[in-house]
Amino acid sequence: MTQRTLTIIKPDSVENGNVGNIIAHLEREGFRIVAARSLRLTQAQAGAFYAVHRERPFYTSLVAYMTSGPVWVMCLERADAVHYLRAVMGATNPADAAEGTIRAAYGTSIERNAIHGSDSAENAAIEVAFFFAASDLV
């Protein structure tokens, strides 16, 4: 079933010049880019986006990191997009990510892990709507 998901190419990837490599990797894996833009998250945006992690010890640091520089947000489409993207990204901690995954190639720590992907179809819909209007999705 064709499905949509949300990815964020994180500040470390932008800083290290890996945006093009990551987009090429995603296209090679059959994702169609439905919408994309770069932006710098505000504290309020990053805090709200990661609100589910509010009680976690890494939350303050995560919000500081995600607002430290520009990111690229994209809505991606393909069959089984949510699960497939998480497989292509690799484990949260790049040290545990399988060879050939985006986080193994470009992530440098559990926080600076190159890319975010929605963890469920329900959250994908919420996260896509967080960044894009229906008219942006083409």
Nearest to 74 by CA among 118, 112, 107: 118
Binds ligand CMP by CB under 6 A, chosen from 25, 78, 103, 116: 116
Instruction: Please identify, using beta-carbon distances, which residue of 4 and 116 lies nearer to ligand CMP.
Output: 116
Contact 41, 116 (CB under 8 A): no
68-107 positions binding ligand CMP, by CB under 6 A: 92
Report the catalytic residues.
116
Binds ligand CMP by CB under 6 A, chosen from 7, 13, 18, 113: 113
Q: Which are the contacts of 35, defined by CB distance < 8 A and separation ≥ 6?
A: 74, 75, 128, 131, 132, 136, 137, 138
Binds ligand CMP by CB under 6 A, chosen from 110, 121, 123, 125: 110
Stretch that binds ligand CMP, among 15-23, 96-104, 109-117, 122-130 (CB under 6 A): 109-117
Contact 79, 55 (CB under 8 A): no
Contact 123, 116 (CB under 8 A): no
Binds ligand CMP by CB under 6 A, chosen from 36, 45, 111, 125: 111
- 13 forms part of the interface with ligand CMP (CB under 6 A): no
Phi and psi angles of residue 85, each rounded to the nearest 5 degrees, phi first = -60, -40
Q: Given the rule CB under 6 A, which residues bind ligand CMP?
A: 53, 58, 62, 92, 110-111, 113, 116
